[in-house]
Structure 1
């Protein structure tokens, strides 16, 4: 059974999780979180009776900063560890400058407080995956599943009764909350996401583990709700674009609808949700998706 470590992002619990498993050949971590939460990761391991130097395997679902920002820093401190990453994300780990520059355009002078540093990862310490591989880490059998839609380099990991779904499984901060899709730029692909959820539905696992946030039964209701939310969110943005609304208006409409839906399920949840996935960022990703689709189809969104 994996243990959840709450990374207490920006001092707020229940926002970003890392999962730890004892492989019998050192610890395996599913996602590291950003470097800004590395002290919380270390403290979480210590509460479980481990040390940071016990880590041997870093399984990355994808290389966005909230999931993988700490990987290079952690590897520098733990020379015996190695990282597992999709082939389309490996280059950004080896040379993270473009990734960080892109993030800096969005977050500006908040970069350090939010994410901290991102240190390059030596290529010899990477195991590069395409999805579909199965291998053993000590006593654990790992199966990597290629699950694009949220990101082109996204993987899920099936380990015994457990399925680690990163962001493609949505954001669900409470059991009473329906999962919602995080849709930041630049890689949102709705048909690819639908294919990924169809694949994940078929996996024989008992428990879903979400980075944002927690563990839930692997059941059809989760995927049904997520797919419905993807369509709802995408439709709001598309209607705004078709009406000629500016980005500020679309974002306000989207945020209002999301806030009402979340707070109706769990009072006050919308504020916490915005830490895990700011609504304006989801609007940006869906806007980019619809505009790129329109260009490919030779029409207007």
Structure 2
């Protein structure tokens, strides 16, 4: 748990796979119960409960689950929480809502990637009843207790991605990048299937224009809003995307492309902070970023826009 921001936001470390500083949940007191931004996977629900207990609260105090997107590391525990807390609601973009209510396709897709490790990594994902969902397009104004919450449509990492602007705080999910320490240049997580580089750049333009003092990243925690953060994220996005594009151009197969990408990425992280490579591989395995960027470039080539 980190110290609260000036506006009272608390960051709970979900200790994913017993590793600190990898997946965070943010907690706000709305005056109408607690709001949690990105509840994490089912496998870390116990850590979420322990973090709430450290605040003198419990799951029973939660009323609002603000989901930036439906990937398992962000939303996997939502259905279980709603089963246990009948008064709570979840908030999600309209293009992700059906997958929360009927998660079979999402789980089948993840199962093809993680196989026998699915349960250990992600735990249970229960369906969310449609009548417990507030479906958002982005651009609405939500009144949650005493808080005014502005959901913002921010695709690029996922076609259904939202950020939430609450006063001085901006909760950016994955579109704000991965930044596991102050010394680390933000990196863009680029897993399949929805990576869209122009959309991501446009989302960054929108977010950096907002009047917010603190960025809250799911991976990991609060960072001061700064031009350097956004500039670093865009630069690393171009670097990583360019490496995959160039490797494809040289005819590298998947194994060679992944090995080259991973070595370069981890070397850069190690130069910034020797503790980063091990934690980063939990936050965003490099092979998944390669898969997402390969898919992006292949689709761009098919459209004639590569």
- TM range, normalised to the smaller chain? over 0.9
State the TM-score, normalized to the length of structure 1: 0.98
> What's the counterpart of residue 293 of structure 1?
300
Structure 2 residue 14 is the aligned partner of structure 1 residue 4: no
Structure 2 residue 161 is the aligned partner of structure 1 residue 154: yes
Cα deviation 1:3-56 (Å, max 9, x = unaligned) = 001000010110000000000000000011000000000000000110110000
Q: Which one of 194, 204, 222 corresponds to residue 201 of structure 2?
A: 194
Structure 2 residue 246 is the aligned partner of structure 1 residue 239: yes
> What's the counterpart of residue 183 of structure 2?
176
- Quote how far apart the aligned CAs of 1:268 are: 2.9
Structure 2 gaps of 5+ residues are 1-7
Q: Which one of 265, 268, 273 corresponds to residue 266 of structure 1?
A: 273
> What's the counterpart of residue 220 of structure 1?
227
For residues 241 and 63 of structure 2, the distance between their equivalents in structure 1, rounded to whole angstroms, comes to: 40
Cα deviation 1:66-91 (Å, max 9, x = unaligned) = 00000000100000000000000000
Q: Which one of 31, 45, 70 corresponds to residue 77 of structure 2?
A: 70
For residues 51 and 278 of structure 1, the distance between their equivalents in structure 2, rounded to whole angstroms, comes to: 32
For residues 83 and 268 of structure 1, the distance between their equivalents in structure 2, rounded to whole angstroms, comes to: 35
Q: Which one of 87, 92, 111 corresponds to residue 118 of structure 2?
A: 111
What is the DSSP-based 3-state SS (H/G/I as helix, E as strand, rest coil) of the residue aligned with 1:199?
helix
How many residues matched? 299
> What's the counterpart of residue 125 of structure 1?
132
> What's the counterpart of residue 23 of structure 1?
30
> What's the counterpart of residue 43 of structure 1?
50
What is the DSSP-based 3-state SS (H/G/I as helix, E as strand, rest coil) of the residue aligned with 1:205?
coil
Q: Which one of 283, 291, 294 corresponds to residue 284 of structure 1?
A: 291
For residues 48 and 275 of structure 2, the distance between their equivalents in structure 1, rounded to whole angstroms, comes to: 27
For residues 150 and 275 of structure 2, the distance between their equivalents in structure 1, rounded to whole angstroms, comes to: 37
- Quote how far apart the aligned CAs of 1:292 are: 0.5
CA RMSD of the aligned region, Å? 0.7
> What's the counterpart of residue 165 of structure 1?
172
For residues 135 and 10 of structure 1, the distance between their equivalents in structure 2, rounded to whole angstroms, comes to: 34
For residues 22 and 49 of structure 1, the distance between their equivalents in structure 2, rounded to whole angstroms, comes to: 12
Q: Which one of 244, 259, 268 corresponds to residue 252 of structure 1?
A: 259
For residues 11 and 109 of structure 2, the distance between their equivalents in structure 1, rounded to whole angstroms, comes to: 30
Cα deviation 1:243-276 (Å, max 9, x = unaligned) = 1110111111100110111000001311110000
- Quote how far apart the aligned CAs of 1:296 are: 1.0
What is the DSSP-based 3-state SS (H/G/I as helix, E as strand, rest coil) of the residue aligned with 1:88?
coil
> Segments of 4+ in structure 1 off by > 6 A?
none
Structure 2 residue 237 is the aligned partner of structure 1 residue 230: yes
> What's the counterpart of residue 3 of structure 2?
none
